[in-house]
């Protein structure tokens, strides 16, 4: 067991306590007042100087040389918690994606790095980010200058994985190159002409047009995308009408696109607009397509990923550090990786075989807290080794 892992293990109880405190807050979006106040308090206690950066928080350790950014996300999801845990959030939101654990692990890494600050061969910048679930927090902090003053040379992030066959506790997984799909939210508003149900021919049925659009959109994946492409297009919501005996003059739907490449993403976005507008016109309606928000595929830098995987194998048992295929999720760390060489790792926190059958975004999801010190050690140990090799 490496020295940094032993040091992190001594902080395990403290990491658990921090995670449970953050868990009770379960704040959503860009504004996380209780969570950010707690992070500032802990960083100050550890002898660091927290600095506001847009909606998030940063701080620095070391000085001069190359700059490595360590990032965590802090936000929760807008769903009532169903874990039954004694520290469960009671505010209608919950940490069902593990961001409370990520924050606690990076706080512990900050404490470890402060202990070793005189040994750092460069600068570590910590990034505590809100609104990952909205794919908005990283972009907001980039605009606020998180990658500047000093200029960041490389970045690393950890995310817990749970409720999968391969999310074994303590197993670290990585993907060189394209690691995650893009993610886009698309709103389609169909406008027709309202009419009484006894005279439907006097109206233009927006619901009927919308229903045909849904079917037509499914044909894009079924007939226009290669079977080897893992892209996904779904209609997640549809709302229209006010009474059962009238023809509705309007209907709204929201779609989700997940694409495996920049090219597939551009193709799907273009075809959604063409298919929605064309199908609506067939039924005498109009369709307006709005791209609400989105994020391109996450691409891990090959060299940074190889370096961090090698350092990780000196911290954890080498067999626990595994290269895996890309996953279908979406991450706003993508925006960091688009600006600087970066890598994103998944840390197993409970597999199905270990009894963790619920995955992220389930309000009853739980994670194995025993892995927390390993995450802290990976953050701190990888940072120290990367700076030492790149001074």
Annotated binding site for Mn(2+): 97, 99, 133, 159, 361
Query: For residues 315 and 321, is the Cβ–Cβ distance under 8 A?
Result: no
Per DSSP bridges, beta strands 56-62 and 123-129 are antiparallel
Count CB neighbours of 328 within 10 A.
12
Backbone region of residue 238 per phi and psi (left: phi > 0; alpha: psi in -120 to 50; beta: other values): beta
3-state secondary structure of 31: coil
Q: What is the spatial distance between Cα 72 and Cα 130, in angstroms, rounded to a whole number?
A: 9
351: left (phi over 0), alpha (psi -120 to 50) or beta: beta
Tell me the backbone φ, ψ of residue 334, rounded to 5 degrees.
Answer: -50, -40
State the virtual CA torsion across 195, 197, 198, 199 in degrees, nearest 10.
30
Separation CA 33–CA 24 (nearest Å) = 13
- Do residues 50 and 57 make contact, with C-beta atoms less than 8 angstroms apart? yes
Return left, alpha or beta for 66; rule: phi > 0 is left, psi -120 to 50 is alpha, else beta.
beta
Binding site membership: which residues? 97, 99, 133, 159, 361
């Amino acid at each position: 067991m490496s020295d940094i892992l032993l040091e992190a293990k001594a902080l395990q109880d403290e990491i658990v306590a921090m995670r449970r405190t953050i868990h009770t807050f379960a704040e959503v979006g860009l504004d996380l007042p209780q969570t950010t106040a707690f992070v500032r308090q802990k960083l100050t206690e550890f002898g660091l100087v927290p600095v506001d950066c847009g909606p998030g928080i940063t701080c620095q350790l070391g000085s001069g040389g190359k700059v490595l950014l360590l990032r965590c996300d802090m936000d929760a999801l807008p769903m009532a918690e169903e874990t039954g845990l004694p520290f469960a959030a009671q505010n209608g939101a919950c940490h069902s994606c593990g961001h409370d654990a990520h924050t606690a692990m990076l706080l512990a890494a900050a404490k470890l790095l402060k202990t070793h600050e005189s040994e750092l061969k460069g600068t570590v910048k910590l990034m505590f980010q809100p609104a990952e679930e909205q794919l908005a927090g990283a972009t907001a902090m980039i605009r606020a200058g998180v990658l500047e003053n000093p200029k960041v040379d490389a970045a690393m992030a950890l995310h817990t994985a749970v409720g999968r066959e391969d999310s074994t506790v303590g197993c670290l997984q990585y993907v060189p190159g394209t690691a995650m799909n893009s993610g886009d939210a698309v709103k389609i508003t169909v406008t027709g002409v309202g009419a009484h149900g006894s005279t439907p021919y006097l109206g233009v049925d927006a619901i009927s047009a919308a229903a045909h659009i849904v079917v037509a959109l499914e044909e894009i994946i079924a007939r226009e995308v290669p079977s080897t492409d893992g892209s996904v297009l779904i209609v997640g919501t549809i709302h229209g009408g006010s009474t059962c005996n009238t023809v509705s003059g309007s209907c709204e739907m929201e779609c989700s696109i997940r694409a495996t490449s920049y090219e597939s993403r551009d193709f799907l976005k273009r075809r959604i607009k063409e298919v929605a507008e064309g199908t609506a016109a067939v039924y005498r309606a109009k369709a307006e397509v709005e791209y609400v928000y989105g994020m391109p595929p996450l691409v891990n830098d090959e060299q940074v990923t190889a370096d961090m995987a090698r350092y990780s194998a000196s911290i954890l048992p080498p067999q626990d550090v595994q290269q895996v295929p890309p996953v279908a999720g979406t991450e706003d760390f993508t925006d960091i990786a688009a600006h600087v060489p970066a890598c994103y790792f998944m840390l197993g926190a409970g597999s199905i075989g270990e009894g963790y059958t619920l995955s992220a975004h389930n309000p009853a999801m739980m994670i194995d807290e025993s892995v927390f010190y390993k995450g802290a050690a990976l953050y701190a140990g990888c940072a120290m080794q990367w700076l030492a090799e790149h001074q």
